[in-house]
């Protein structure tokens, strides 16, 4: 069975978000901005003014640094676009969502169901994962234009806030829903049933390391 395909605005209605199901494949239209640790620290810890109207211009936060360049004439060339792993940004996201009204967090690998239940669902937000990883060339094709690059001088190309005009940009996979359920945890639970059999006969290292867990259904993130 192929996953269901959905076109979604980067300023989605609550109804459109509520309609998303785990495993749906999403293509985005509208403006999306990149923000990762550099932008979060600058906006939330250093209290710099965010150089966009959020969420009216965009409610989609991409955990991404593109493979791109700024030309001498100030124009931009966007090559491939791929997300970075999102779990590292959990410490900033609740405040970021409250401040910017972000409804779509787009990145690699998702967050935990605890994150989803604690601050995604109350903010009416869901998580979209990139596919692969990563389908950088396909996503690059979905960028119709680079509208602006904010904070390049302060943060550098990789951490700057890129504003992308998306035209059927995708694919992305819906990794959380309005119940706060997590696609990856659902898959982990299925795989966990087989873990004991795969490990049969193997033995733990004779010399242990601090911090080890022997529960293979745990995640290390």
Give Cβ neighbours of residue 85 (< 8 Å, ≥ 6 apart). 63, 107, 108, 109
Single out the residue of 30, 55, 109, 180 in contact with another protein (rule: CB under 8 A). 109
Single out the residue of 7, 18, 56, 69 in contact with another protein (rule: CB under 8 A). 69
Complex with another protein: residue 46 or 207, whichever CB lies closer: 207
Is-contact 8 26, C-beta < 8 A? Answer: yes
| CA 200 from centre of chain | 36
Complex with another protein: residue 61 or 129, whichever CB lies closer: 129
Q: How many residues bind another protein (CB under 8 A)?
A: 61
**Strand (E) positions, the chain?**
5-9, 25-34, 60-62, 68-70, 76-78, 104-107, 126-130, 143-150, 161-174
CA–CA separation, 45 and 3 (whole Å): 40
Single out the residue of 12, 55, 136, 180 in contact with another protein (rule: CB under 8 A). 136
Say whether residue 81 binds another protein (CB under 8 A): yes
Binding segment (CB under 8 A) for another protein, from list 6-14, 44-52, 80-88, 92-100? 80-88
Vertex 66: Cα angle to 33 and 162 (nearest 5) = 30
Say whether residue 221 binds another protein (CB under 8 A): yes
- For 183-213, give the DSSP string: HHHHHHHHHHHHHHHHHTT----SS--TT--
At 101, list the tokens. 């009204």
Single out the residue of 135, 161, 169, 176 in contact with another protein (rule: CB under 8 A). 135
Single out the residue of 84, 100, 123, 176 in contact with another protein (rule: CB under 8 A). 84
CB neighbourhood size of 94 (10 A)? 15
Say whether residue 21 binds another protein (CB under 8 A): no
Single out the residue of 32, 35, 43, 83 in contact with another protein (rule: CB under 8 A). 83
- Which residues between 32 and 61 bind another protein (CB under 8 A)? none
Say whether residue 168 binds another protein (CB under 8 A): no
Say whether residue 188 binds another protein (CB under 8 A): yes
At 216, list the tokens. 């293979």
What burial class does residue 77 get, using C-beta atoms within 10 Å of its C-beta: 0-12 exposed, 13-18 middle, 19+ buried? exposed
Single out the residue of 64, 102, 125, 163 in contact with another protein (rule: CB under 8 A). 64
Interface residues toward another protein, by CB under 8 A:
1-3, 23, 25, 64-69, 77, 79-85, 108-110, 129, 131-141, 156-159, 171, 173, 184, 187-188, 190-191, 194-195, 198-199, 201-207, 209, 216, 219-221
């Amino acid at each position: 069975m192929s996953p269901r395909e959905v076109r979604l605005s980067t300023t989605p209605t609550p109804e459109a978000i509520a309609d998303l199901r785990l495993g749906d494949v999403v293509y985005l239209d509208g403006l999306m901005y990149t923000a990762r640790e550099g932008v979060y620290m600058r906006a939330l810890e250093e209290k710099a003014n965010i150089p966009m109207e959020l969420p009216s211009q965009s409610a989609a936060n991409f955990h991404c640094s593109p493979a791109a360049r700024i030309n001498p004439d100030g124009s931009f060339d966007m090559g491939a676009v791929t997300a970075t792993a999102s779990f590292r940004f959990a410490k900033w996201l609740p405040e970021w969502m409250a401040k910017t009204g972000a409804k779509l967090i787009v990145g690699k690998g998702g967050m935990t169901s605890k994150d989803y239940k604690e601050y995604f669902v109350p903010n009416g937000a869901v998580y979209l994962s990139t596919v692969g990883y990563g389908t950088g060339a396909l996503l690059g094709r979905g960028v119709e234009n680079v509208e602006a690059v904010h904070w390049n001088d302060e943060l550098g190309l990789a951490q700057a806030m890129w504003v992308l005009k998306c035209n059927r940009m995708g694919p992305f996979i819906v990794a959380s829903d309005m119940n706060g359920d997590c696609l990856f945890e659902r898959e982990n639970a299925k795989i966990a049933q087989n873990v004991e059999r795969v490990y049969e006969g193997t033995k733990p290292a004779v010399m242990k390391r601090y911090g080890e867990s022997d529960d293979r259904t745990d995640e290390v993130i």
